[in-house]
């Protein structure tokens, strides 16, 4: 049986006054809100697929307050995991991750995945202009965009957000579900609640509400630097982890490890420290274990076998267990073959 979601036409009264903690006073269930605008080519925006990532809600409150008298383009707003938002959690223990169960997921069918299938079908039927999914990171990262299909129109969309963008291949994410339907992008807006991240998301979505067409040409390397993420680095379930080199833990990183996001680690630079033989699990986009290909342990020190760039490092122990410690990036090589 599909999870229930509500369909609304127009914003409910009180939308501009709610917070994540009080969101269920207006949205007791996941909700799909349609707001008509002058241009009927609808922009789809999803927020709160992770309940503890509040920037999407705050950005849409700011933006829609600007257009109380009418939108330049119709908007379809999906308000996602409201129960987790109320609890300030990524997702509740009994739930599946709302951004891992969209069409194309490798997870077993569930009431939530059936809901995401229906949401996708509704959006597809409206012939959307573009799809935007707004997220936060749990660690220090620059703002960047993510695309799953690096076609020129998606590259152009990413370049409108920042000069650095990530190509990632994770079946079940919302952005991948819209590949082939419309231009689609994920926005990573830094830490939750950051004013800079909120204003950045507002500017980006506002731009799309007022844009006639997305250019079809691919941006140059000066306009966009694409990196690729196809590796997830996870801490094994029975391994303790700390961001303190003096801690009594199986796996240790320097306290400012998250400052290394989007910086290069070469094969001779210590990545972390361990007292066990195999503290980490590294998987590719097909969920294959590639740990031994990617890293090695020498005398309690962890090294990467090739020069790579970590991203989305988190120190949050719950997120480490629910998702991963970080992703590992390299330059997106096909991009170099086609750049101008």
Provide the whole-model pTM: 0.85
- pLDDT over 60 at 339, yes or no: no
| Burial class of residue 231, CB neighbours in 10 A (0-12, 13-18, 19+) | buried
Nearest to 253 by CA among 269, 261, 241, 267: 241
Question: What structural domains and CATH numbers belong to the chain?
Answer: 6-219 (3.40.630.10), 229-338 (no CATH)
User: Using one digit for the tens of pLDDT, what is the confidence trace for 273-302?
Assistant: 999 999 999 999 888 999 999 999 999 999
Cβ count near 27 (within 10 Å): 22
Q: Is 261 helix (H, G, I), strand (E, B) or coil?
A: coil
pLDDT at 155 (0 to 100): 95
H helices of the chain, where?
A: 55-66, 82-87, 111-125, 152-159, 174-177, 195-210, 291-294, 317-322, 333-338
Determine contact, residues 157/187, Cβ cutoff 8 Å: no
Residue 195, CA distances (Å) to 135, 182, 289 in order: 14, 29, 39
Determine contact, residues 162/227, Cβ cutoff 8 Å: no
User: Token pair for residue 128?
Assistant: 């959307």
Identify the band that residue 335 occupies on the pLDDT scale cut at 50, 70 and 90.
very low
User: Token pair for residue 16?
Assistant: 């501009």
**Which has more pLDDT, 275 or 336?**
275
Cα four-point dihedral sign 314, 319, 320, 324: negative
Identify the band that residue 338 occupies on the pLDDT scale cut at 50, 70 and 90.
very low
Tell me phi and psi for residue 310, to 5 degrees: -75, 150
């Amino acid at each position: 049986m599909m999870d229930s979601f509500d369909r609304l036409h127009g914003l409910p009264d009180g939308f501009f006054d709610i917070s994540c903690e009080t969101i269920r006073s207006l949205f007791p269930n996941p909700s799909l809100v349609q707001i008509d605008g002058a241009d009927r080519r609808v922009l789809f925006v999803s927020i709160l697929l992770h309940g503890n990532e509040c920037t999407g809600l705050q950005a849409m409150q700011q933006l829609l307050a600007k257009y109380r008298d009418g939108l330049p383009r119709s908007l379809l707003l999906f308000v996602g995991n409201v129960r987790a938002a109320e609890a300030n959690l990524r997702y509740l223990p009994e739930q599946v991750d709302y951004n891992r169960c969209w069409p194309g997921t490798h997870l077993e069918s569930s009431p939530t995945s059936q809901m995401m299938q229906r949401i996708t079908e509704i959006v597809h039927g409206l012939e959307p202009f573009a799809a935007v999914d707004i997220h936060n990171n749990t660690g220090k990262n620059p703002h960047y965009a993510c695309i799953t299909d690096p076609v020129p129109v998606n590259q152009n969309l990413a370049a409108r957000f920042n000069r650095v963008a990530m190509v990632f291949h994770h079946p079940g994410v919302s952005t991948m579900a819209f590949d082939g339907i419309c231009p689609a992008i994920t926005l990573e807006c830094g830490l939750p609640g950051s004013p800079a991240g909120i204003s950045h998301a507002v500017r980006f979505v506002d731009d799309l509400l007022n844009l006639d067409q997305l250019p079809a040409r691919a941006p140059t390397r000066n306009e966009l630097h694409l990196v690729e993420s196809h590796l997830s680095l996870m801490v094994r379930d029975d391994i303790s982890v700390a961001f303190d080199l003096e801690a009594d833990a199986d796996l240790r990183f320097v306290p400012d490890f998250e400052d290394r996001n989007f910086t290069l680690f070469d094969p001779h630079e210590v990545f972390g420290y361990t007292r066990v033989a195999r503290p980490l699990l590294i998987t590719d986009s097909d969920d294959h274990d590639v740990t031994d290909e990617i890293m090695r342990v020498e005398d309690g020190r962890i090294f990467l076998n090739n020069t790579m760039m970590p991203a989305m490092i988190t120190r949050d122990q719950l997120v480490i267990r629910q998702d991963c410690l970080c992703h590992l990036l390299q330059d997106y090589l096909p991009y170099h073959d086609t750049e101008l």
